[in-house]
Amino acid sequence: MPEKLLIIGGVAGGATAAARARRLSESAEIVVFERGPYISFANCGLPYHIGGVIKKRDDLLVTTAEMFHKRNGIDVRINTEVLAIDRQHQTVFARNRQTGEEYAETYDCLILSPGAAPIRPPCEGIDGENIFTLRNIPDMDRINTYVAGASPTAAVIAGGGFIGLEMAENLVFRGIHTTIVERLEQVMSPLDMDMAGFVHAHLKEKGVDVILGDGICAFEKKDGRMTVRTDGGKTIACDMAVLSVGIRPETGLAMDAGLEIGETGAIAVDATMRTSDPHIFAVGDAVEVRDYITGKKTLTPLAGPANKQGRIAADNAMKRTSVFCGTLGTAIVKVFDLTVAQTGLNEKTAIKWGVPYLVSHTHSGSHAGYYPGGETISIKMLFSPNNGRILGAQMVGKDGVDKRIDVIATALYGNMTVFDLQRLELAYAPPYGSAKDPVNIAGYVASNLLKKDLENIHAGELAALDPEAYVLLDVRSKIELKLTGRIEGALHINIDELRERMDTLDRDKIYVTYCAVGYRAYLAYRLLTQNGFTAKNLSGGYETYRMASGLMVSD
């Protein structure tokens, strides 16, 4: 067991590693270097303090250096930056950022947890005093101080990822009109476009302006305010901007020390979190890890994996074998009234790595329909066409999304299939769920596809259909068509009238059935195919089509 363990960086990975190492060895000398003033803080909570949801700033401090030292007997050196690593002599060189003192410290084992830095694109005027990033407590303090002092009325957020969406919500809570500018054609890149559409609609409903497929190229001061210019020629007047265009692994120390950098640009580690140097481990946002589904190298800048990796690195540094089995990238975010979550593969990733897949869309109630307050949970699931193994899921809804995404994440780690989802016995009482939980229903629909009891077509495929061969068949009620619209050119026959009106249909045509969310269209599909017609079902119904197409009810 090493006599001396140095850890560079605190927060999720480094602080966890330090505490774990102490539990394994009371005799080891453990030193943590943290270049900031806080050893461990809840960085996921930063936007919510800005919005006033989390009232007390100190509630974000998981622990202080003094508390951490007192409880764990660990030497914590905050405001101390490690300048270099001498691998040959197993020595690090550090500088106290307050006093300027520089010194050397030897080690038997070293754990790197340097994290990642916000990307600041090379835009004109990007260093303006009212242009912010949000990565730590000092960043949060700067934003709060500016908002309190300048009373801004309008803000622009560059980027529609997790932090960008959380900041949009919390700036709106502060009474600031907010515009999101996203270079991609959608917010939330881990989602596929048909699921991101739900988020776009909700942001619009909450008064957030969203500019997609366009990036920011310049920030200019004009008439006492700031003007943001985009590549597409748009100009947006505002008082402040928040950069949320992504993060870059902090690999400078590792590169200078000659450690191997992986194909993703992050520090290469094995399953024990060991780098190319047997005495050095690395964890958190700065490392590349194995994707649990594909086995490919990936980046997962999330607190959950960083915590696990910190514990695993400490185990192995202390000569206790432990391995990181890979990441699913399970993540969840609150966007005003919506909860948005994902785990495993999305379509973009499956296509990138050549993973065969099928897709199902379902829209189910968060709990029993007869109990007040139920909300719809929209689920998109990817699964193997060969054996039904679950590959990934995306969910959007106002209630109950969190527990359902965790069920699917658990199923993914267990290499379960969609047939297993049918059989899961999940907790049910009217306030919490249904006898057939949304997870069960997702399993039923996916299983029907595998058993050829259903053949789907997806919203993105409709435009390419030959109108001479295909007929869209809308089986909803007339009132639904009036309230929400319909797909242009669709034939309308209410599901309850279809059996009696089948003799009016052309048996040479292929009918694409759809309803609001899929169940009645499935009934129509079964009815038609068992009576000699050729049919397909529009996956997820009109609701998925509407969101995938960017259509609002008002349209």
**44 a catalytic residue:** yes
Q: How far apart are CA 45 and CA 136, in angstroms?
A: 10
| Other CB atoms within 10 A of residue 272 CB | 15
* Closest-CA residue to 340 (of 389, 404, 426, 413): 404
Q: How far apart are CA 420 and CA 458, in angstroms?
A: 24
Q: How far apart are CA 91 and CA 108, in angstroms?
A: 9
* Closest-CA residue to 27 (of 73, 89, 63, 70): 73
338, 339, 345, 351 alpha-carbon torsion, rounded to 10°: 10
* Closest-CA residue to 354 (of 293, 438, 281): 293
Residue 527 DSSP label = H
CB 408, CB 439: distance < 8 Å: yes
Q: Give DSSP secondary structure letters for 47-115.
A: HHHHTTSS--GGGGEEE-HHHHHHHH--EEEETEEEEEEETTTTEEEEEETTT--EEEEE-SEEEE---
Amino acid at 293: I
Q: How far apart are CA 70 and CA 80, in angstroms?
A: 19
- Residue 530: CB partners within 8 Å, gap ≥ 6? none
**What is the H or E stretch that residue 456 is in?**
strand 456-457
State CA 436 to chain mean position distance.
27
- Residue 74: CB partners within 8 Å, gap ≥ 6? 18, 19, 22, 30, 31, 32, 68
Check 44, 217, 238, 515 and give the catalytic one. Answer: 44
**What is the H or E stretch that residue 365 is in?**
strand 358-365
- The 10 Å CB-count burial string (b at 16+, else e) for 212-251 is bebbbbebeeeeeebbbbbeeeeebebbbbbbbbbbbbbb
Degrees (nearest 5) of the Cα angle 436, 438, 441? 65
CB 309, CB 284: distance < 8 Å: yes
* Closest-CA residue to 314 (of 111, 117, 517): 111
Q: How far apart are CA 522 and CA 384, in angstroms?
A: 21
**89 to 27, 49, 107, 425: CA distances (angstroms):** 23, 44, 9, 57
Q: How far apart are CA 180 and CA 136, in angstroms?
A: 21
**476 to 226, 370, 441, 483, 518: CA distances (angstroms):** 49, 21, 21, 11, 10
Q: Which active-site residues does the annotation give?
A: 44
